[in-house]
Amino acid sequence: MRILMTNDDGIDAEGLAVMARAVSRWIDQAPIDQPRSAVIAAPHRNYSGMSSAVGDVFDAPYVDYRRRTIDGAENIAAFELECPPALCAIVGSLGAFGWRPDVVLSGINPGANVGRSVLHSGTVGAVLTAAQLGISGLAVSVQWGDDVHYETAAALALEVLDELFTAPQVTTLNLNVPNVPREGVRGVRRARISTAVVVEDAVVSRDGVLPAQGRVTLTLGAASPTIGNVSDEQDDDDGALVEAGFAALTALRGPQENSDPSLDSLLRAALARVSAHLDQAR
């Protein structure tokens, strides 16, 4: 069982260190006939909100890296890469650091990734990218607070990992954990992605005047690191569950074509118009 670890907060982030130490203990406790190993390929700086961005690899088809050590996880080779988390996932998944992993583990992110924030999250982006390469993944986030309980998220993540290794197909999971001690977690529930957005409103001026230069003020929604108001959510929505003290586990699916039959007529009409345009140009 081989794990590639990454995150979007950078190689020096506390969440990554806590997860690495938990995985280190998990490796040491492996049965003799079921060896475990891990490698860390994490960004050199914070890339929060970068989704699945890889940067301009066409202009610069290389990634600079350097060896690092995570205190308390010295048995895990760690590398700092000068690239976003999605590209870290690609580089590591292709075996650049020794082998192709069975699972990509991303996090622990300090701040929930619920609702529409899953589209923008670099933590989630890394595992969605791994899925495109045929590798299962688990993104792990913990609700933001004054004192973030990373250990709670790490303990739950390892339990999910044990199941993920036996998944019959490529599986991508998003785990969000309330910011409480482990004994304070009320349970874990399968969750839906809520309709909560990251940005609810964007305003330049409330008097209707639009200057040539200025600042757009954003109003943040419930799909935020702290979550907040979930009065509009269903009981089984991810944000509502975390706010209620449950860990929320959501299965995700990456980009694929939309095969909805209701689009057939639209596509046929569009294809006909484009074909007619090309025929006229000949």
pLDDT in tens, 45-65: 999 999 999 999 999 999 999
**Claim: this prediction has a pTM higher than 0.85:** yes
pLDDT of residue 206: 66
Domains plus CATH for the chain? 2-193+227-252 (3.40.1210.10)
pLDDT digit string, tens, across residues 144-177: 998 999 999 999 999 999 899 988 899 999 999 9
Cis bond upstream, residue 3 (ω within 30): no
pLDDT of residue 208 exceeding 80, the answer is no
